[in-house]
Amino acid sequence: MLPHIRRNPTLALHLNENFELCIPSDIEYLYGSRESQDLANSIKQFYFNNETISNTTLLNFVNLVTDTQVTFPTDRWIEMYKNMANSNRVYYFVFDFDGDLNWYKLFSKTQFPGASHADPLGYMFVTNITRPLLPSAGADSKKTIKVMVQLWSNFIKYG
């Protein structure tokens, strides 16, 4: 979502005027209802301290989208899956390394701290974006390449 808002700042204006659109889609409050407006106000207070979505609050927006569209749904799905009778093992992979080869951050020219959703790709595959950076990558990034390749190789081999 971040690249879209950067390319088209009117999207942020639209969300500011219609903040109920930031409510996760699985919460089925009727748009415009008191409950929906109250929840939108709570979300705005929690993530933005009642400020608007703007260039200075984009990291807050990233946190909101990450929590509502990735973290919470993933946690919920894992909880449901673990409670199924036929679920043996659940693997929850969290990548939080912020290094020289974070693929999506390089691709999207994102300067925020932390890892993005597709960042592990830069440590598992040589891409057009990461190839020129490999020779100058720091020791931590090179170690992360080894760890990621071993992790996924072992997962493929042994489950």
Sequence spans of domains, the chain? 2-82, 103-158
Q: Cα–Cα distance between 157 and 159 in angstroms, integer?
A: 6
pLDDT at 119: 95
Calculate mean pLDDT across residues 100-108: 93
Give the pLDDT band of residue 113 (cuts 50, 70, 90): confident
Angle in degrees, 0-180, between the axes of helices 34-48 and 58-66, rounded to the nearest 10: 120
Could you report the per-residue pLDDT of 26-82, keeping only the tens digit for each? 889 999 999 999 999 999 999 999 888 887 888 898 889 888 888 888 888 888 888
CA triple 33-36-37, angle to 5 deg: 85
Taking 80 as the threshold, does the pLDDT of residue 7 lie above it? no
pLDDT at 117: 83
Contact 148, 123 (CB under 8 A): yes
Distances (CA, A) of 47 to 51, 64, 117: 9, 6, 20
Give the pLDDT band of residue 158 (cuts 50, 70, 90): confident
- Provide the token pair at 62: 């990233």
| Whole-structure pTM value | 0.71
Instruction: Report which listed range, 74-88, 111-125, 126-140, is most confident.
Output: 126-140
Calculate mean pLDDT across residues 120-148: 97
Give the pLDDT band of residue 11 (cuts 50, 70, 90): confident
CA triple 24-94-12, angle to 5 deg: 35
Could you report the per-residue pLDDT of 72-102, keeping only the tens digit for each? 888 888 888 888 888 877 778 889 999 999 9
Q: Cα–Cα distance between 12 and 72 in angstroms, integer?
A: 23
Q: Name residues whose C-beta falls within 8 Å of residue 122's C-beta, 6 or more positions apart in sequence.
A: 101, 102, 103, 106, 129, 130
